[in-house]
């Protein structure tokens, strides 16, 4: 009977984590460049139950032989295996701000291992000099005249250097070229990941590689194509209606497991306080 407790509790925990993931998705529905998280529920590995029995050896003065007879399989519940971002293009909306840049996907090669396309990112640098990647093109200009994210991360060019624009009087062409006073000064660094699921999510729309290595430049791959649009932003790819429906489903599943747990609790109460008196 205690195994039922564990299975119901595992179901409640997995649905709670799923609800937390969906809540975070809904909270970031208006965050530029946010990629929705998707969770996958898996059952714990099934255990094969066996019964140990003893049989007397037919030999003279023989001992006891231990034998194992199979009873059957036992599943111990469900768990949230992983949360993976969905790197699907979000809606492109116009803002009119010169510091806003939207990264619009063109053709992206399909990864044969995952059967999914790769993904493009802006390259940025934090205060420690570490390279991070983001889809959020909601940039600004710091007091020193460098193009940065709202968190203060410096936006990098294709050579991995910071971009000095001086102010908001600059232009960004469709190929990423940055023009100041009508002259092309540099080009935005756009990175390409063949398998973005290997990236580690850090929060604030930032990603990093697992081993600290830098992603290759997208322009180094002739199969990759993209377009940059100044004065536009890529919105999140969160489907609010679908997220709310999935959240209600998670709530109902949580309540169902909770009722199972309460039923087991009442059964245990009777077993201890009533049957135990006999």
46-102 pLDDT, tens digit per residue, is: 665 566 665 665 555 555 666 666 666 666 677 777 788 999 999 999 999 999 999
Residues 187 and 259 in one domain: no
What is the value of pTM for the model shown? Answer: 0.80
* Residue 110 CA from chain centroid, whole number: 19
Residues 252 and 228 in one domain: no
**Where are the extended beta strands (E) located within 23-118?**
37-43, 47-56, 64-74, 78-85, 92-94, 101-105, 110-111, 116-117
What is residue 45's three-state secondary structure? coil
Of 137, 145, 24, 126, which Cα lies nearest the Cα of 85?
24
Q: Domains in the chain: how many in total?
A: 2
Residues 146 and 207 in one domain: yes
pLDDT at 208: 93
Average pLDDT over residues 27-42: 89
Main-chain phi, psi angles of 97, to 5 degrees: -90, 135
pLDDT at 78: 79
Residues spanned by the domain of 21: 2-44+76-83+244-277
């Amino acid at each position: 009977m205690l195994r039922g407790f564990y299975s119901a509790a595992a179901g409640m925990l997995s649905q709670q984590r799923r609800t937390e993931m969906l809540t975070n998705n809904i909270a970031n529905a208006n965050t530029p460049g946010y990629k929705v998280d998707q969770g996958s529920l898996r059952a714990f590995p099934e255990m094969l139950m066996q019964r140990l029995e003893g049989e007397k050896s037919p030999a003279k003065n023989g001992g006891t032989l231990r034998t194992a007879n199979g009873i059957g399989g036992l599943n111990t519940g469900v768990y949230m295996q992983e949360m993976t971002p969905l790197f699907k293009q979000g809606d492109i909306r116009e803002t009119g701000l010169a510091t806003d840049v939207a990264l619009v996907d063109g053709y992206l090669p399909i990864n044969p291992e995952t059967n999914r396309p790769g993904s493009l990112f802006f390259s940025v640098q934090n205060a420690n000099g570490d390279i991070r990647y983001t889809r959020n093109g909601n940039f600004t200009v710091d007091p020193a005249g460098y193009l940065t994210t709202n968190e203060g991360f410096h936006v990098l060019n294709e050579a991995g250097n910071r971009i000095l624009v001086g102010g908001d009087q600059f232009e960004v062409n469709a190929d990423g070229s940055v023009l100041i006073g009508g002259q092309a000064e540099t080009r935005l660094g756009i990175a390409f990941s063949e398998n973005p699921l290997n990236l580690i999510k850090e929060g604030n729309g930032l990603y990093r590689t697992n081993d600290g290595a830098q992603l290759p430049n997208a322009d180094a791959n002739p199969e990759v194509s993209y377009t940059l649009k100044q004065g536009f932003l890529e919105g999140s790819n969160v489907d609010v209606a679908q997220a709310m429906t999935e959240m209600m489903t998670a709530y109902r599943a949580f309540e169902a497991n909770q009722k199972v747990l309460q039923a087991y609790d009442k059964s245990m109460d009777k077993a201890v306080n009533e049957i135990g008196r006999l």
